[in-house]
Amino acid sequence: MSKKIMFQGTGSTVGKSLITAALCRILNDDGYKVAPFKSQNMSLNSFVTQDGKEMGRAQVVQAEAARIEPMVEMNPVLLKPTSDMGSQVILNGKVYNQLKASEYYNNKSKLMKEVIYAFNQLEKAYEIIVIEGAGSPAEINLRKNDIVNMGLAEAIDTPVILIGDIDKGGVFASIYGTYMLLEPSEQKRIKGYIINKFRGDVSLLQPGIEMLYEKLPLPCLGVIPYSDFQIDDEDSVTTRLKDKKEGDIKVGVIHLPYMSNFTDFTALELEKDVAIVYISHKDTLDGIDLLIIPGSKSTIQDRLYLKNSGLDEKIYECYKRNIPIIGICGGFQILGHTIKDPLSVETTHKAIQGLGLLNVETILEAEKHTVRQKGTFRVNFANGAQTKGVNIWGYEIHMGKTKLTEDVKPLITLDNNILDGAVNKEKTVFGTYLHGIFDSHNFRAALLEPIRKQKGLEHSKALSYEKAKDKAYDDLARVVRASIDIEAIKAILG
C-alpha cells in the first residue's frame, strides 16, 4: 500500500497545482517513486497520453516533475466547458457525455467508482501518491457526492494539508474559516497548513501564525515566497492572457472565447526576444510579426465570435500584408471556407462559412480523435522560414475531418505516411491539427529566424523546451523545499 498526502486549498488559484508538482519533484529527488493524482479537473488545456487518451495538463506537469510518463489514471475525470452551463465530460481519457452542471452532479456517484479504481491502479505502481484537490473543501453546498476534496480524502483515507494564498489578503481568516466549515471527521484529516505567495519579511508574519495557533492548533508547515516560474498553468488560474511581456518579435494569438490549449505557446514565450500578445476585438494587430488562431473547444461559436466582433476583418488585413498566419486545430478549421456540423456536435448550426483563407472544408464528427504524432514539414514559409524537412512532434485532439480542395497542399507528412494540415498557394497561411508543434525547437528556430533577420536582431540558438521545463521544475522544488518543513511532511506521510 502506497503512502499518500493531499493538498486542498482555501479557494481556487491558491497554488495547489504547483505545490503538488514541487512535492513530486522533491520526493523523487529524495529517491521515492511518486505519482500525482487529481480525480476531477476542469480545463480546456489537455494532453494526449502515449496510448491516445486525454487528460488535464496540470497532471502532465506534475508527472513531468516526478520524472514519469503521464497516464490517464492520474486524472480520470476531465471537464471541458462548452458553455456557461455545461461541459464535455472526459472519463478515463475518452468522451463520456455532454452534461449540464445539474446532470453532472447527479452522475457523481457513478464517477466516484471510476475515480477510486484509477487511484488504486496508481497505488499498485508507486510508493507515494501526491493528491491535488479542486477549489475549496468548504463549498458546503457541494459536499454531497464530492469526489475531489474531502469526499475523496475520506474514500481513500488520506491526510490533508491546507494551502492559503496570502497574496489575496485575509489568509488567516480563510484558513480558519475553511477549517471551521468542515465536519469534525474532516477537520481531523487536516494536519497543517502552508501559506503561499508571500512577499516581504517572514518574521513579520510570525506573530500572526502564533496567534492563529491559539485559536486553531494546526502547525504552519511553511511560508512559500511569491515566485514566477515558466511552468504551464491552468486556464482557470492563468494570468498570461493579461500579463504583457516586452519583446522585439510580436506573435499575436487571437483570444477566442473557447480557446483551448494555450499551452501550445509556452515554448514561444520562453524565447527572450518574443512577446506573445493575446488579441481581443478591442486590440489592434499593428506590429504583429506572426498571427496564430489557436485551438477551440467550440469552433463554430468561436468562428461566429470572430465575425460578430469584427476580428475577422483584422485577420484579413494581416493576410493582405503577407503576415504569416497559422491555425492550430480549431484555428485550422476556422481558416477554411466551410465548417459543417450535420450531427449537431457543437451547435444547431448545420454549416457556417469560415474565414476562407484556406480552401478546405471541415465536417465535425461525434468521435474524438486523440493521438500523439511525429512528422516532417513539406514546405517553406513565403517569408523565408526554412521549415521544409524540419521534424516536429505534437498531438491531435479534435472532433472533425478536414478535406483539402484545389489550391492547397498538405503541410506535414506524419510518420505513418498520413498527411496533415494545409498551406495556401502563396505559402502565407498554414493550418495543422497538431498541438505542441512550437515545442519542437528546430521548427521554432526556423520560424523565427527570418523575422529576426528582417528586424536586425541577433541570431538565437534553438532553445530546448524539454531542458527548460526540467530546469523550471528544479527551480520550483528548490524554492519550495527551502520554504517548507519537508521532514514534518514526510512524517505526515508516515
Give CA–CA dist 133/16, Å, rounded.
Answer: 7
Question: One-letter amino acid identity for 154?
Answer: E
Given the residues 329, 369, 398, 459, the one annotated as active site: 329
H or E element at residue 429:
strand 429-432
Cβ atoms of 164 and 212 within 8 Å: the answer is no
Burial of residue 406 (number of CB atoms within 10 Å: 0-12, 13-18, 19+):
exposed
The yes-or-no answer on residue 441 being catalytic is no
Cβ atoms of 269 and 246 within 8 Å: the answer is no
Burial of residue 29 (number of CB atoms within 10 Å: 0-12, 13-18, 19+):
middle
Task: Label residues 352-387 b or e (16+ Cβ within 10 Å = b).
Answer: bebbebbbbbbbbeeebebbbbebebbbbbbbebeb
Question: One-letter amino acid identity for 477?
Answer: A
Cβ atoms of 325 and 288 within 8 Å: the answer is no
Give CA–CA dist 437/212, Å, rounded.
Answer: 49
Strand partners, 193: 162, 220
Given the residues 24, 318, 435, 441, the one annotated as active site: 435
Q: Which residue has the cell 488545456?
A: 45
The yes-or-no answer on residue 318 being catalytic is no
Catalytic positions: 329, 435
